[in-house]
Amino acid sequence: MPLPPLTTSDRQALGNPRSTASPLPVSVTDRVQWIGALDPQLRNFDIILRTANGTSYNAYAVRGSNGVAVIDTVKQEFTEAFLARLEAAAGYDEITTLVLNHLEPDHTGAVPELLERAPHVEICVSPRGVQVLRALLKDRFDEYSVRVVRTGDTISLGDRTLRFLTTPYVHWPDTQCTYLEEQDLLFTCDLFGCHFCDERLFNDQVGDFRFSFEYYFEHIMRPFKRYVIEALDLIEPLDIAMIAPSHGPILRSHPREYITHYRRLVKKRLASEVGEQKSLLIFYVSAYGATAQMAYAVYAGAAENAGVRVSLFDLQVGEVTPFVDLIEEADGLAFGTPTINGDAVKTVWDLLAGLVDIDTKGKLGAAFGSYGWTGEAVAMVEARMQGLKMRVPEKGLKIKLHPTEEELECCRDFGRRLAAQLTGTAEPREIDFADLT
């Protein structure tokens, strides 16, 4: 059966959210209405995301026989449009529940004004959401009814039931999903969302948003793949007729295909030939060949361990983006950099900066390099890796100017120790506590 197109009144209601005309809600399905806002002129979101098509802030009103639930709100500057749509959908006295699936400002900007008008509502948040809600409401927090909900908890609206799924770190610790049982409709907040503004709202009617969907995943969800997998495990057993995210198109046509696509996105992207071996990637930049000599020696030492597959890459090529996929699947990373003007070289920093888009927690990290005067670069790279929550068990190796043969043997031994760390065969090392005083 073909899905109904938007009516003329729908399109008029979805015009410029900053206009003075009163916007109207849009029907999503029986007794569920979109009450969000459109931001077509937005070109940069949260500093890190380009938004060629703007974005939407999707919020919803769900009507039951015993009340209305509001699912999320909008960015603060769109409060007026949001409240106008809400008022057209329900009276404030009818609203019994405010569900906040995620408390980032683009979803909660209208919360204070809504609570001024409907202070009686019960606010439903995840366990981790309480502390963020308290920070949002500040000294007024205790004035409101707040309910902590977990996976399996439900809220009854009479003939409509909302069931909650705790899905942390997709992409904040507080994130949850809400499932409207009677209509198989899943409200997912940022999960399955994208920054794509189109007044036609629904995925079967908007323009081609595939790029925006995957771009959003790469920059928002990819660093939290392990948590996305846990969320998918909760979601996949559900009967799902529609997915209603908080950004981008509402997925009413073939919604399960988007779940399947997420499964593909969270799987390893590269065919692995490593088998049971651990993988160590060594990246280096060399100004006069000294750091390159060290890199080849570290490589040779690590390669002696049959349990480790070692790869060596010269970053002088300048393009670092292709290496991010490799790093995501690697077990260990070593960075070689000279110290130039008291710093590591820019190409190394560029690659390290790109790692914010992947999960590096627990990966082995190491640094080495040649220097002429003070050699700060090695310690700086180590600090950055620790900031990325990598483990750095071996103190960085730095050598003044070109290495001697004896020093190259130290580099080979450094590689051997890294390989042993990866395979779990490293010998316990005694710490001389006198060196720490």
pLDDT tens for each residue of 57-87 = 999 999 999 999 999 999 999 999 999 999 9
Residues 190, 220 contacting (CB under 8 angstroms): yes
Using pLDDT thresholds of 50, 70 and 90, give the confidence band for residue 350: very high
* Interval 163-187 mean pLDDT: 97
Choose between 15 and 344: higher pLDDT.
Answer: 344
In this predicted structure, the answer to whether residue 45 has a pLDDT above a threshold of 90 is no
In this predicted structure, the answer to whether residue 209 has a pLDDT above a threshold of 60 is yes
Q: Specify the pLDDT at position 20.
A: 43
Q: Specify the pLDDT at position 29.
A: 96
Structure-derived torsion over alpha carbons of residues 227, 231, 236, 237, reported in degrees to the nearest 10: 120
Whole-number Å distance between alpha carbons of 33 and 113: 20
Instruction: Please give the structure tokens belonging to residue 105.
Output: 């400002």
Q: Specify the pLDDT at position 435.
A: 40
Q: Which of 63-77, 237-251, 283-297, 417-431 has the lowest mean pLDDT?
A: 417-431
Whole-number Å distance between alpha carbons of 65 and 319: 59
Residues 92, 81 contacting (CB under 8 angstroms): no
Q: Specify the pLDDT at position 267.
A: 85
Q: Specify the pLDDT at position 427.
A: 77
Q: Where are the alpha helices (DSSP H) in 253-318?
A: 255-266, 290-303
Q: Where are the alpha helices (DSSP H) in 172-289?
A: 210-216, 225-235, 255-266
- Taking all residues of the chain, what is their mean pLDDT, rounded to a whole number? 91
| Phi-psi category of residue 425: left, alpha or beta, with phi > 0 → left and psi -120 to 50 → alpha | alpha
Using pLDDT thresholds of 50, 70 and 90, give the confidence band for residue 270: low
In this predicted structure, the answer to whether residue 273 has a pLDDT above a threshold of 80 is no
Q: Specify the pLDDT at position 10.
A: 47
H/E run at residue 186: strand 185-189
In this predicted structure, the answer to whether residue 241 has a pLDDT above a threshold of 50 is yes
* Interval 350-369 mean pLDDT: 94
In this predicted structure, the answer to whether residue 49 has a pLDDT above a threshold of 90 is no
Q: Which residues contact 328 (CB under 8 A, 6 or more apart)?
A: 269, 358, 359
pLDDT tens for each residue of 92-134 = 999 999 999 999 999 999 999 999 999 999 999 999 999 999 9
In percent, the amount of the chain with pLDDT more than 90 equals 82
Whole-number Å distance between alpha carbons of 138 and 133: 8
In this predicted structure, the answer to whether residue 278 has a pLDDT above a threshold of 70 is yes
Instruction: Please give the structure tokens belonging to residue 196.
Output: 């794509």
Instruction: Say if pTM beats, i.e. exceeds, 0.75.
Output: yes
* Interval 350-371 mean pLDDT: 94
Whole-number Å distance between alpha carbons of 221 and 359: 10
Using pLDDT thresholds of 50, 70 and 90, give the confidence band for residue 321: confident
